């Protein structure tokens, strides 16, 4: 998954403003207790981060 696809998914699921806030502020256990932005900056793949977001927010299988 490319980073642009990751952000498109985030915006589709959470809306543009909330997706940015979530990425900056919400700590996700599945990312090693990091935020989305921290995980991506540390080199985590967008696919890995997207899976952690899906798990944390119990998103339906169809968007995973």
Asked whether residue 49 is domain-assigned, the answer is no
Asked whether residue 62 is domain-assigned, the answer is no
Structural domain for 19, as ranges: 1-31
High-pLDDT (> 90) share of the chain, %: 97
pLDDT in tens, 8-34: 999 999 999 999 999 999 999 999 999
Q: How much is the mean pLDDT over the chain? A: 97
Helix and strand numbers, DSSP H then E, in the chain: 4, 0
pLDDT at residue 64 greater than cutoff 90? no
Asked whether residue 5 is domain-assigned, the answer is yes
Asked whether residue 11 is domain-assigned, the answer is yes
Angle at 35 between CA 34 and CA 39, to 5 degrees: 70
Q: What is the pLDDT of residue 35?
A: 98
Our count of domains for the chain comes to 1
Asked whether residue 61 is domain-assigned, the answer is no
Asked whether residue 10 is domain-assigned, the answer is yes
Rounded average pLDDT over 29-45: 98
* β-bridge mates for residue 30, sequence order: none
Q: What is the pLDDT of residue 11?
A: 98
Task: Tell the residue number behind the tokens 């921290």, with chain if given.
Answer: 38
């Amino acid at each position: 998954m490319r980073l642009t696809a990751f952000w498109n998914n985030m915006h589709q699921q959470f809306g543009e403003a909330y997706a940015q806030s979530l990425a900056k502020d919400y700590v996700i256990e599945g990312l090693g207790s990091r935020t989305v932005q921290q995980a991506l900056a540390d080199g985590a793949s967008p696919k890995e981060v997207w899976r952690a977001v899906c798990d944390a927010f119990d998103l339906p299988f169809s968007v995973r």
